[in-house]
Structure 1
Amino acid sequence: MATMAEVAARAGVSTATVSRVLAGKPVRPDSAEAVRAAATELDYELDRTARSLRRRYSDLLALVVPDVENPFFTAVARGVEDTARRAGLSVVLCNSDDDPDKERRYLAIAASENMAGAIVAPAAGDLPVGGLARKGATVVVIDRSVEADVDQVGFDNVALGREATRLLIDRGCRRIACISGPSGMGTARDRELGWRAALAEAGLEVPPEYLRHANFRVDGGRRATEGLLGVTPWPEAVLATNNMVGIGALQALAASPGDEPRPEVAVIGDLPYATTDVSGLVQVPLRPRELGVRAAEMFLERLGGFTGAARRVVLDGTTTGAEPA
């Protein structure tokens, strides 16, 4: 049987548009006609699928993120919401605070309320999706990888860490410290690996005291940087492995006493606001809205009948690719 993605490709529209036609939502007449024609050619049963969606699920989608105050996740939420809304779904935003218990509670509520499913940036590697799976609900994981057999969308974090470090090396920096996230988090671990790889490729040492683990928040970046400024010699540069850590690092450096030259800073992600002079700052931008859009599209494809193997989509600075997980 044809899938929603195949109908969308044949009609020359997005899967969100196909989903709106399925749900009886208004779309441009020419787009609706193209979808119906493609469905007929591919023997895709629009009416039966639409009835099934209305019967089994509410029109709610849970989006569970670790920090709603981080503009990165605000942009992710915008991408999810814009895409889901066009398909007739409403998004319920849930803040887990990286707390597995809070995350578990939100997912249990999504299951008990017969939501269409959840898009989750998981707090840990063992995402508790059993309740949703038993109800046949859809789950897509974003930003952080898990072992569960579900669709996942994230970034090439090793490449990001390597690229940011290479930019510092190209500026002549040799003593480069890294503020990574929690040691058990895959995103943090991979960005740290990229930092190590770039230093090794340049023949540079990795002093153990130049690696600091912190939470992915401003206070974590600030405390980690303060610790680095107690190291002799000071690092010539600091890699902050996410945007909020970067803000904390800049705050700590701006407040640091002494005559030592201030280390250069590279940040993975876009700074949401500036706390000090950021001239010369190295930034490796991410595409959080695109992350949200792609996750929502994959969600809608599953909701529309796609039953293929779990997919893993990796976004980097130049390309987007997908392959079975």
Structure 2
Amino acid sequence: MAKISDVAREAGVSVATVSRALNDHPNVNPEYADRVRAAAAKLGYRPNGIARSLRRQSSDVIALIISDVSNPFFTAITRGVEDVAQRSGYSVLLCNADEDSAKEATYLRVAEQEQVAGVILSPHMAGSDVSRLRGANIPLVVIDRPLNEPVDSVMVHSREGAESATNHLLDAGWTRPACITGPEEAATAQERLQGYLEAVRQHGNLDELFVHAPFRQHGGARAASELLDAEVAPDALFVANAQMTLGVLDELKRRGLRIGRDIGIITFDDAPWAPFISPPMSVVAQPAYDIGAQAAQLLMERIRGTAPAERRQLTLSTTLIVRESSQRSWGMR
């Protein structure tokens, strides 16, 4: 690995000049700066981010560690985080934990080693280990899922949204709604299941039909197959996120089931494709951009030292958007 002294030797300048040139210092002779950049590119030199952060005792980078970069919900969160961070003079390092506790632990370790200014985390589970951040005094805000730590958080009323979605299916005339939710260790999966169960129990002697599966397309397909093959099959589905819903739609198509006639469906998250499929998808919309923006604002206040000592917990509301997929009469037109 090339060192800064190697770059200085190649460019014919001092180590101090290399440092100033690579940090865009205004007092560096443009000719020297060009030579330094050319030498760094030739040698494949990369500045030592850890050492640079330690010298400054601060960083202008925050880490955003999310569960699934392919999920449009997290795309909108990322935009909210980035907009607030950029206005505050910070860059965002996006890390995809991929619903993997080992990858999450790796990114938390990197955030601590690189001395980032702060971290926004969508934890894999409530027991995710953030002790490295705590030991390094790096501020942390959690989003989407709770953490067993006294830190700032921005959540959504998942249980209420799920209850509203299930009540809507029942009010629309479906009599055997089922719930396809995420893995048991995910707090959001449990909250959405509880909302479904509360609605079903309020309507009297109804079957409680539900399956846990990964928050992924293949998880939705597998869960739908299991429910539809059961002795008591559902006539409607509440699905806990949009990625799973894509798998559910594939399974319904494979079986030749008509949405709105043979089966109703509603999902958590208003994915970009939801209004444009046939029939358009009913959803429980989350304020994803606001989650990211408010989390970033909380983090900025922690970084600046203007936040109160006690943790802050924000919980945002969902919005039920009724389209044709949950309407029992749609397929009979």
In the superposition, the TM-score normalised over structure 1's length comes to 0.77
Deviations 1:236-267 (A, max 9, x none): 10000111111211111111147995310011
Alignment of 1:143-154 (within 5 A): 143-154=144-155
Question: Greater Rg, structure 1 or structure 2?
Answer: 2
Q: List runs of 5+ in structure 1 lacking aligned partners.
A: 1-53, 319-325
C-alpha displacement of 1:280 = 5.8
**RMSD, aligned α-carbons:** 2.0
- Give the Cα–Cα distance (whole angstroms) in 2 for the partners of residues 258 and 311 of structure 1: 46
C-alpha displacement of 1:276 = 9.1
1:276–1:211 distance in 2 versus 1, CA, 3 Å = farther
Question: Which letter does structure 1 place at the counterpart of 2:130?
Answer: V
In structure 2, the residue matched to 1:244 is: 243
Deviations 1:12-38 (A, max 9, x none): xxxxxxxxxxxxxxxxxxxxxxxxxxx
C-alpha displacement of 1:290 = 0.7
List structure 1 runs of 4+ shifted beyond 6 angstroms.
none
C-alpha displacement of 1:105 = 1.0
C-alpha displacement of 1:204 = 4.0
Alignment of 1:52-91 (within 5 A): 55-91=56-92
In structure 2, the residue matched to 1:228 is: 227
Which shifted more, 85-94 or 261-270? 261-270
SS in 1 for 2:123: coil
C-alpha displacement of 1:233 = 3.9
Question: Which letter does structure 1 place at the counterpart of 2:228?
Answer: L
In structure 2, the residue matched to 1:49 is: none
C-alpha displacement of 1:227 = 1.3
In structure 2, the residue matched to 1:255 is: 254
In structure 1, the residue matched to 2:141 is: 140
C-alpha displacement of 1:66 = 1.2
1:215–1:259 distance in 2 versus 1, CA, 3 Å = closer
1:102–1:203 distance in 2 versus 1, CA, 3 Å = same
Contact 2:219 2:244 in 1 (8 A): yes
C-alpha displacement of 1:151 = 0.6
Contact 2:146 2:155 in 1 (8 A): yes
C-alpha displacement of 1:272 = 3.6
Contact 2:274 2:280 in 1 (8 A): no
Contact 1:243 1:269 in 2 (8 A): yes
- Give the Cα–Cα distance (whole angstroms) in 2 for the partners of residues 104 and 204 of structure 1: 44
- Give the Cα–Cα distance (whole angstroms) in 1 for the partners of residues 249 and 258 of structure 2: 17
SS in 2 for 1:291: helix
1:280–1:199 distance in 2 versus 1, CA, 3 Å = farther
Question: Which letter does structure 2 place at the counterpart of 1:73?
Answer: F
1:259–1:68 distance in 2 versus 1, CA, 3 Å = closer
C-alpha displacement of 1:217 = 1.0
SS in 2 for 1:235: coil
Question: Which letter does structure 1 place at the counterpart of 2:252?
Answer: L
In structure 2, the residue matched to 1:178 is: 179
Question: Which letter does structure 2 place at the counterpart of 1:254?
Answer: K
In structure 1, the residue matched to 2:20 is: none
* Residue 314 in structure 1 maps to residue 315 in structure 2: yes
1:56–1:180 distance in 2 versus 1, CA, 3 Å = same
- Give the Cα–Cα distance (whole angstroms) in 1 for the partners of residues 271 and 205 of structure 2: 28
Percent of matched pairs sharing the same residue:
36
